């Protein structure tokens, strides 16, 4: 189950978080909107694995910790920790550790099972999100922590044929 929740987390944190939402997370409405995306991605897992819905208390806990962690990151860690990649990586470590701890407390050793087809597909999906979104975003944060070149992104995507 951990791998399916990891996939949901990665989709919510990278695929469903455009730059305007990253900026908006400095306000409560942006944080709550992002938290809703995190919760919806986990709830969506129940569409393919109905047993996941029984973990709704775990989902609420994970979402609450996710919102609190993101608040801490944008209001404290981004100012205290340097270089800018450090808060980004620490944020992800906290999110994944929260997933692991809450699911372990909810499911015990079965949280790590990979015998289900869904878990295998989730592992592949997680790898694709990490390779296609998380790593490039991490590199951008590392090389351009002030996001001074963010305005160039739409034109670059058009030139590359990505749009």
Question: How confident is the model at residue 147, as a pLDDT?
Answer: 67
Between 132 and 157, the more confident residue is: 132
Distances from the Cα of 66 to the Cαs of 12, 40, 163, in angstroms? 11, 13, 31
Residue 152 lies in a domain: no
pLDDT in tens, 1-13: 899 999 999 999 9
List of residues 6+ apart from 105 with CB closer than 8 A = 58
The pLDDT of residue 131 is above 80: yes
3-state helix, strand, coil in the chain (%, to 5): 85, 0, 15
Confidence grade of residue 161 (pLDDT, cut at 50, 70, 90): low
Residue 14 lies in a domain: yes
Residue 159 lies in a domain: no
Confidence grade of residue 152 (pLDDT, cut at 50, 70, 90): low
Domain count across the chain: 1
The pLDDT of residue 50 is above 60: yes
> How many other C-beta atoms can be found within 10 angstroms of the C-beta atom of residue 133?
16
Residue 91 lies in a domain: yes
* Cβ atoms of 30 and 71 closer than 8 Å: no
Domain that holds residue 133: 2-147
CB burial string 23-49: b at 16+ within 10 A, e below: ebbeeeebbeebbebbbebbbebeeee
- Which region among 3-12, 32-41, 77-86 has the lowest average model confidence (pLDDT)? 77-86
Mean pLDDT computed over 36-52:
93
């Amino acid at each position: 189950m951990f791998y399916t929740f990891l996939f949901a987390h990665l989709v919510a944190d990278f695929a469903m978080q455009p730059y305007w939402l990253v900026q908006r997370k400095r306000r409560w409405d942006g944080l709550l909107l992002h938290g809703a995306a995190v919760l919806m991605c986990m709830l969506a897992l129940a569409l393919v694995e109905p047993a996941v819905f029984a973990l709704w208390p775990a989902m609420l806990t994970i979402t609450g910790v996710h919102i609190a962690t993101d608040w801490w990151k944008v209001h404290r860690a981004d100012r205290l920790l340097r270089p800018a990649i450090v808060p980004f990586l620490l944020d992800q470590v906290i999110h994944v550790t929260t997933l692991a701890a809450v699911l372990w407390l909810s499911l015990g050793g079965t949280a790590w099972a990979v015998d289900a087809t869904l878990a295998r597909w989730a592992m592949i999906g997680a790898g694709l999100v990490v390779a296609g979104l998380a790593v490039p975003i991490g590199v951008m944060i590392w090389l351009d922590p002030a996001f001074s070149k963010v305005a160039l992104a739409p034109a670059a995507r058009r030139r590359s044929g990505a749009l």
